Amino acid sequence: MTRVAVVGAAGYIGGELLRILTTHPEVELAAATSRRLRGRQIDGVHPNLRGRTRLAFCAEDRLDHYDVLFLATPHRETMRRMPEFLGRADTIIDLSGDFRLRCADTYEDYYGVPHEATALLGTFVPGVPEFHRERLRTADRVSVPGCMANAGILALTPLAEAGLIRDEITVDARTGSSGAGATAGSENLHAERSGALRVFAPTRHRHEAEISQATGLPVRMTATGVEAVRGVQLLCRARLADGAGERDIRSAYRERYADEPFVRVVAQRRGLHRFPDAKILSGSNFCDVGFALDPESDGVTVIAALDNLVKGGAGNAVQCMNIRLGLPESLGLDFPGLHPN
Amino acid sequence: MTRVAVVGAAGYIGGELLRILTTHPEVELAAATSRRLRGRQIDGVHPNLRGRTRLAFCAEDRLDHYDVLFLATPHRETMRRMPEFLGRADTIIDLSGDFRLRCADTYEDYYGVPHEATALLGTFVPGVPEFHRERLRTADRVSVPGCMANAGILALTPLAEAGLIRDEITVDARTGSSGAGATAGSENLHAERSGALRVFAPTRHRHEAEISQATGLPVRMTATGVEAVRGVQLLCRARLADGAGERDIRSAYRERYADEPFVRVVAQRRGLHRFPDAKILSGSNFCDVGFALDPESDGVTVIAALDNLVKGGAGNAVQCMNIRLGLPESLGLDFPGLHPN
Amino acid sequence: MTRVAVVGAAGYIGGELLRILTTHPEVELAAATSRRLRGRQIDGVHPNLRGRTRLAFCAEDRLDHYDVLFLATPHRETMRRMPEFLGRADTIIDLSGDFRLRCADTYEDYYGVPHEATALLGTFVPGVPEFHRERLRTADRVSVPGCMANAGILALTPLAEAGLIRDEITVDARTGSSGAGATAGSENLHAERSGALRVFAPTRHRHEAEISQATGLPVRMTATGVEAVRGVQLLCRARLADGAGERDIRSAYRERYADEPFVRVVAQRRGLHRFPDAKILSGSNFCDVGFALDPESDGVTVIAALDNLVKGGAGNAVQCMNIRLGLPESLGLDFPGLHPN
Amino acid sequence: MTRVAVVGAAGYIGGELLRILTTHPEVELAAATSRRLRGRQIDGVHPNLRGRTRLAFCAEDRLDHYDVLFLATPHRETMRRMPEFLGRADTIIDLSGDFRLRCADTYEDYYGVPHEATALLGTFVPGVPEFHRERLRTADRVSVPGCMANAGILALTPLAEAGLIRDEITVDARTGSSGAGATAGSENLHAERSGALRVFAPTRHRHEAEISQATGLPVRMTATGVEAVRGVQLLCRARLADGAGERDIRSAYRERYADEPFVRVVAQRRGLHRFPDAKILSGSNFCDVGFALDPESDGVTVIAALDNLVKGGAGNAVQCMNIRLGLPESLGLDFPGLHPN
């Protein structure tokens, strides 16, 4: 059994890691930390884990050494404490934003503070199995992308690689409330957030930089909070390169994703479900990708959806762990999602 | 024009008072206080009032004297400051819990603290036009009932008055999230509260005591938070007195409510809408009341619904003000609610 | 009193017309038709109107002649029956899609059927008070725009008129479920539609053609169903013409909307509510418009929100009626919307 | 591998059976029937199963013989066709209502039609592992209880068995929209059902009879549709027998459920999650049970929650199958549910 620990386990990403890891057949969850809730039973905070674990949250100074250490810690704090974390595990899987961007200037540009561990910046392998599987097999440091970023990377990279996209991409991202985390603020009050269509980032969202870094294309992204707890959906608009068409798009996706366990290219012609919708993906590690061509122009609209806490975070991180440990890649990640839900 | 002010106007009940008062043709909103947000534009906090008022929240020490002063202040604080408030207005309309219960012991029993202004306890007229209209015409001190309490009082008092109910009543109350107010706490986080069926008061909810006081009958109430921002629905179970039947119930309601502008007795035989539902009452001052008899027993189930911030608070308070000022009782309260919504 | 009738009053737009007209001080609702529900009490279908009207739905052959006739009838049927309708009223206010587009070819292109009353096409005045007020004062035939179209027209026309937009506009429209109407289909089942992010029109939505017609600019629109009953929000992306900037946009909106009773330009710098959100507009006739500039490019994002059944339909139609009848333009339309909601 | 088939697989209970069975390691899903959708790909209707099955719905005349046949067929039709079904499988697991009630008179009383297969009535073992596990090990005919019924049976039977309840029980049941099934009707339209608190069965709901049969006590149940797609919560009120108290209740539950894999007795003293809530149970096979005593009386309130399609249907049915086949009882049922959700 692989001994793993989760730092920052009281939050939503942390809780999702606990859900998956306590069900995972090859893993022993050895510790879960929370400064705020140390000493409290995990299942009092994450009630879905009743009967699954008797563990209590521990203080961070109780950590010893683990095979794999998952970091669900805030940005800034993560880069400051990374040297300490690196001494505590063979493999670090970081879910914070601090090591997603390779370039310190871009980090400062989007996070508004200078990077404080630039020497480590290049040393993390992107937690994107679909594009970095080989490196992940031996990676000791993994940085998992942001939830909206991962949807955008999976939606757009195959088209960018194949040279099918001309110039800029615009992304309209919609996200549920769990993406804002478990900290209470008036903006996250149910009465304020329920039924909202809240444009909270009209420009310059941090995940925009990740999509741009992965695709090598300029990206303009807008982020709107919609009525959902889980779920991210991206609607990406681009222009096709000269001569590119539906067949090229299909084959670009097929080449990349035909054998991928967790990316599904949705190609229904009709019906309720012909485009990806996060509604049916809650709890699952799938990212669904689909597209539509504008008959009147060279425009293409790519739609991607995932559960922000699973394929957009904890599930994707466990998929990376499975690869690193040489386990079957889908182990512990086989929940297909619910319909209706 | 009547000069009015609202103390504690940044909360949800306070905001609802502002909505109604800024639309009311016979009223001038002279001041709205908020300690936390003083100096901030009202419409920055209550965006539905954009273009309706240029007023900013003022500090409470800026209050002068008004024709009517509405108190949307927390319990305890309200009874402590009541002497000060009484000096600031001809008529006080209190929406806090402090002067709803006539008996100091019952107050302490349900609020967990001793009452600190017992001398004033008896001096407030209940803000229930349907049962205290005459006294309200001349009342200088009005105490508006709690949201769930008002639904229960309107649902049950006619039956209790007519002696149609035997022994105890059980009440299952369901309420939306706005009832918890505008203060952020993890229990009110959208991700935690959305879609919840949260039994937050299995016994001894404070509004239980108000219903019991009004009906003179023992009441056992359970309160559950349901997925809604606004809206309260009560499902009240009782046994009919010997010989009582459907006709008696109908006539008890008819006698009491035939001429009431804001209580509707729902008596459809069939269809989606045959029982009261708060869904269609958002923003309206109506309380809908209906009932069903158990063909197999002497049991009756009474169902009542209202908007907790309107007929359960601000709208009901303005109705009391209209009566006190000798204005048409429905003035400023004619919004019928939305379907669908 | 003006005698008015509503054809197709059992649907959601029809019901909203009834809500507004039964509260309107200068109007007598003389008839409301429904083939499907003729003979049934209106308030059995639209329960928010309990106590507001004792009218029952009548068959269409019972119609006589009215001052104003509102048509909430399906497209195709409307153009076929228009000659009959024209004989039944001094003023026709049509809420169907049949007379919104001036060009028969565009109609066929977007509706997939040839227009069957081309001779009448040019004879309807667009029901957009903000841009056609003078013509509406004397118009006997008014065609009210589609819900998403009206949001787009109000968001973009001032910028287009002022020559501030270069080339194409992309529009990402989000809409609640009431836009689909009251007819039951599996796609509108609660279990399927609840929490959905359903891209139901990736290209070529009919309202796209209306926005293009009004602004004179090419528009590419995508429509997504989101979790809401009411509400439309448009996120419009465009590039600014050379040299154009924030000041130009502000003044373009100010010139157009400074005196408009129902368009609010939202210009908060910060806070939850700094961009338009349909959440607070349910039941109100406001369209809120706001915008954000991309600091890194010449891109502008314009955001507009309204209640699809009010400013996107029935409320806008009544505003047109008020203008036509020389009544105060806001009569019967003063509900400000709710916060929270 | 056990060969299984599902009759009526296009509905919500049928789809949930497909979700669980296609993930179950010891089962081969051999056929799934739908009259309405025969020939259509399963994952076009249940999109969560994309990549999980290539099966299409088949016509019922294509059925051959199976180890286990699951019936997700309407009541009435099920009893009429039961002889045919019995010939098609070693074990029948019926999820319809037709064989839940042992007494034909009670069936007619609650279903409004006479039972048409009375000879078979006694031959079905109740699909309640917690109380009929031994009989289920050899049962060839299993009748799974209704969703609300199962919550009530699990909540109340231990107390009834231990003689802790005096006289009648009142049950207030709340249910999500998926319980109404996948057939479109105006009552299930999103715009009508969203945010509703719809009392659809004030008395005499069919599941009431099942709870009464299992507990041997008179039950008065009310059923309300609440805003949720999945989930049932029951709030059960009863009076304790003389001398009975908290300790007796705890030990009654402990004796019954200490070793049960899918019943969790919730006994937190405080916090958001101290009473059962279906919100965290979507997709899981758990039934959570908790209770509260009235300090002022002999009243007890028992609260139970489950996912109506899983422990209230398909999951419970698969648990019965696992028992019948001698497999580990939790096989294929280990999903813990999501928090937040």
Query: For residue C136, what is the enclosing H or E element?
Result: helix C129-136
Task: Give me the amino acid identity at D183.
Answer: T
Tens of pLDDT, residue by residue over B20-54, are 999 999 999 999 999 999 999 999 999 999 999 99
The reported pLDDT for the residue numbered A268 is: 81
Mean pLDDT of D265-290: 94
Whether the bond between A25 and the residue before it is cis, its omega within 30 degrees of 0, is no
Mean pLDDT of C244-273: 94
Q: Of D55, D16, D48, D332, nearest to A264 (Cα)?
A: D48
Q: Per the structure block, which two tokens stand in for B254?
A: 């008819």
Q: Tell me the average pLDDT of chain D.
A: 97
From CA C53, how far away is CA C44, in angstroms rounded? Answer: 11
- Partners of C19 on chain B (C-beta within 8 Å) are 336, 338-339
pLDDT classification of D271: cutoffs 50, 70, 90? confident
Tens of pLDDT, residue by residue over C158-211, are 999 999 999 899 999 999 999 999 887 889 999 999 999 999 999 999 999 999
Tens of pLDDT, residue by residue over D306-320, are 999 999 999 999 999
**Is A295 in contact with C237 (Cβ distance < 8 A)?**
no
Q: Which of C307, C339, C341 to mutate to test the interface with B (most CBs of B within 10 A)?
A: C339
Q: Show the low-confidence residues of chain A (pLDDT under 70).
A: none
Catalytically annotated residue among C147, C236, C287, C320: C147
**Is C52 in contact with B340 (Cβ distance < 8 A)?**
no
Interface contacts (A, C; CB < 8 Å)? 121
**What residues contact residue A81 under an 8 Å CB cut-off, 6+ apart?**
A73
Compare all CA atoms of chain D with the CA of A266 and give the residue at the minimum distance. D50
Mean pLDDT of C134-149: 98
Distance from CA of C309 to the nearest CA of B (A): 10
Closest in D192, D195, D279 to B196, CB measured: D279
**Is C198 in contact with A295 (Cβ distance < 8 A)?**
no
- Partners of D179 on chain A (C-beta within 8 Å) are none
Q: Are the CB atoms for D337 and D282 separated by under 8 Å?
A: yes
pLDDT classification of D135: cutoffs 50, 70, 90? very high
Q: Of A140, D186, B2, nearest to C189 (Cα)?
A: D186
From CA A35, how far away is CA A42, in angstroms rounded? Answer: 13
**Is A292 in contact with C203 (Cβ distance < 8 A)?**
yes
Closest in B47, B264, B281 to C280, CB measured: B47
**Is C186 in contact with D182 (Cβ distance < 8 A)?**
yes
pLDDT classification of D267: cutoffs 50, 70, 90? confident
The reported pLDDT for the residue numbered B334 is: 95
- Partners of A303 on chain C (C-beta within 8 Å) are 199, 202
Mean pLDDT of C262-284: 94
Q: Of D65, D63, D51, nearest to D9 (Cα)?
A: D63
**Is B338 in contact with C230 (Cβ distance < 8 A)?**
yes
Tens of pLDDT, residue by residue over B164-205, are 999 899 999 999 999 999 887 889 999 999 999 999 999 999
**Is B340 in contact with D233 (Cβ distance < 8 A)?**
no
What is residue C172's three-state secondary structure? strand
**Is B336 in contact with C48 (Cβ distance < 8 A)?**
yes
pLDDT classification of C150: cutoffs 50, 70, 90? very high
Q: Are the CB atoms for C108 and C97 separated by under 8 Å?
A: no
Closest in A180, A182, A195 to B186, CB measured: A182
- Partners of C177 on chain D (C-beta within 8 Å) are 189-191, 194
- HSE-CB of C76 using CA atoms within 13 angstroms: 6
Q: Per the structure block, which two tokens stand in for B12?
A: 């949800």
- Partners of B299 on chain D (C-beta within 8 Å) are 203, 220
Q: Show the low-confidence residues of chain B (pLDDT under 70).
A: none
- Compute how many other C-beta atoms are within 10 angstroms of the C-beta atom of residue D284: 23
Provide the pairing of β-strand B198-201 with B141-143.
Answer: unpaired
Compare all CA atoms of chain D with the CA of B170 and give the residue at the minimum distance. D237
The reported pLDDT for the residue numbered D273 is: 94
Interface of D with A (CB under 8 A): 12, 15, 19, 22-23, 44, 46-52, 178, 182, 229-230, 264, 266, 268, 271, 273, 277, 280-284, 286, 288, 334-341
Q: Tell me the average pLDDT of chain C.
A: 97
- Partners of D178 on chain A (C-beta within 8 Å) are 340
Closest in D48, D264, D334 to A338, CB measured: D48
From CA C56, how far away is CA C30, in angstroms rounded? Answer: 11
Q: Are the CB atoms for D308 and D179 separated by under 8 Å?
A: yes
Query: For residue C168, what is the enclosing H or E element?
Result: strand C165-175
The reported pLDDT for the residue numbered B176 is: 98
**Is B280 in contact with C23 (Cβ distance < 8 A)?**
no
Query: For residue A316, what is the enclosing H or E element?
Result: helix A314-325
Closest in D195, D231, D294 to B220, CB measured: D294
The reported pLDDT for the residue numbered C184 is: 75
Is C103 one of the annotated active-site residues of the chain? no
Q: Which residues of C214-251 are buried (b: 16+ CB within 10 A; e: fewer)?
A: bbebebbbbbbbbbbbbbbbbbbbbbbeeebeeebbee
Predicted-complex ipTM score: 0.96
Q: Are the CB atoms for D1 and D22 separated by under 8 Å?
A: no
**Is B170 in contact with D170 (Cβ distance < 8 A)?**
yes
Q: Of A306, A336, A333, nearest to A320 (Cα)?
A: A333
Q: Of C88, C77, C72, C67, nearest to C33 (Cα)?
A: C72
Closest in B182, B184, B194 to A194, CB measured: B194
Q: Are the CB atoms for B302 and B293 separated by under 8 Å?
A: no
The reported pLDDT for the residue numbered C269 is: 79
The reported pLDDT for the residue numbered D113 is: 97
The reported pLDDT for the residue numbered A23 is: 95
**Domains parsed from chain D with CATH numbers:** 2-144+313-325 (3.40.50.720), 148-306 (3.30.360.10)
Q: Which of D175, D177, D188, D190 to mutate to test the interface with C (most CBs of C within 10 A)?
A: D190
- HSE-CB of A338 using CA atoms within 13 angstroms: 30
Q: How far is CA D187 from the centre of its chain?
A: 23
The reported pLDDT for the residue numbered C268 is: 81
Interface of D with B (CB under 8 A): 170, 172, 174, 186-187, 191-192, 194-199, 202-204, 220, 222, 224, 226-228, 231, 233, 235, 237, 272, 275, 277-279, 292-297, 299, 301, 303, 305, 340-341
Chains that touch C (3 or more CB pairs under 8 A): A, B, D
**What residues contact residue B264 under an 8 Å CB cut-off, 6+ apart?**
B257, B286, B287, B288, B289, C50, C51
Chains that touch A (3 or more CB pairs under 8 A): B, C, D
- Partners of C185 on chain D (C-beta within 8 Å) are 184
